[in-house]
Amino acid sequence: MSLKDLLDDGALFDAEYAGSLSNHRPMALIALHRLGASDERLATFDARYRKRLQPMPPTEAWPAGDAWRGRLGEPRSWPVYRSLFVEWLAHESTDMLPPVLAGLMPGCGAAAFHGMIRTAYAVHAGHGPEIADALAYWACRWLPLDGTPPGEDLGLIFQAMQRAAAARGFADAVAAVRIDDQAPQRLAREAARLYAATGDFTVLHLVTSAHALRVLLPFVDEPREAIAQYARAFVAARSAAAVKPGRVATALPWPVLVDAALASDDEHLIKLVDSCREEEAAHGGPDWQRAASRAVRDAMA
């Protein structure tokens, strides 16, 4: 089966499994494909990963006349948002992305950035149904980080981000981030350096979300505003991680890193190596190679 065939199968699966864990299947498949995986390797990964997933919930139509932002942040709204975005894409294709992203970026920390990351991978793949599914997931898990602490604590990253955003000093930390055209690169490089020095799981999501931001910015009408909204979520996740950098391991050659990702069934390792390779190609420097090396070395330990 080709990547397109496998993405077409995405209609079989829910956006989450085991309670509130994000379905990484489409993201990992697209990352593997970009890293050079064969159709056979994609099928092998898929056969193992799909066993953990839950079936797609029943389809629900979006109520005619309802404002599309009316259900943002409602976890159970994924099926109805999925119907809305499928229809919207059918009428406007990706011309619908700027207004939708304008509404979603204030909640870009959704599900530990997975709504944003999944959308970026879907846009890269150019797969309409997956774009709709990804946007719907972002919408239903929309996370504004307005200072409201989480309710029930399930120990998830986005809840730690909510606590960090409600803590004293958060506003000052956000204000310290300089917002300009180079801010995405600075944040991406900071994330890569911090991950290379810590291997922290929350920081890993800063590396992959920074890559997602770069992919999506060309589809945003107000990039400075989008960057500022991302920076707020970035600071919340960085604060939630509360890590102390350690020693940075020697970088492994890129062919070794890519081969390790291609052979792995760890969806986070796959996405991290892919994002790091893409960010190095865009910005240059050794930071992303070191970050990818940290992930591969930790996986081999």
Is pLDDT at 1 greater than 90 in this prediction? no
pLDDT in tens, 52-67: 999 999 999 999 999 9
pLDDT in tens, 18-53: 989 999 999 999 999 999 999 999 999 999 999 999
Is pLDDT at 228 greater than 80 in this prediction? yes
Query: Quick one: which H or E segment has residue 17?
Result: strand 16-17
Helix, strand, or coil here: 160? Answer: helix
Q: What is the mean pLDDT of residues 282-288?
A: 98
For residue 285, is it left (φ>0), alpha (ψ between -120 and 50) or beta? left
Distance CA 153, CA 160 (A): 9
Instruction: Using the CB atoms, write b or e for 273-296: b if 16+ within 10 Å.
Output: bbbbbbbbeebeeebbbbbbbbbb
pLDDT at position 151 is 74
Q: What is the pTM of this model?
A: 0.97
pLDDT at position 188 is 98
- 3-class DSSP string for 241-255: HCCCCCCCCCCCCHH
Q: Which of 179, 180, 174, 162 is nearest to 235 (CA)?
A: 174
CA-angle at 47, arms to 43 and 49, nearest 5°: 115
pLDDT at position 73 is 96
Is pLDDT at 293 greater than 90 in this prediction? yes
pLDDT at position 16 is 98
Distance CA 105, CA 266 (A): 28
Is pLDDT at 152 greater than 80 in this prediction? no
pLDDT in tens, 93-133: 999 999 999 999 999 999 999 999 999 999 999 999 999 99
pLDDT at position 154 is 74
Distance CA 273, CA 296 (A): 8
Share of the chain above pLDDT 90, in %: 93
Query: Quick one: which H or E segment has residue 101?
Result: helix 97-104
Distance CA 205, CA 213 (A): 12
pLDDT at position 236 is 97
pLDDT band, very low/low/confident/very high, at 170 (cuts 50, 70, 90)? very high
pLDDT at position 218 is 98
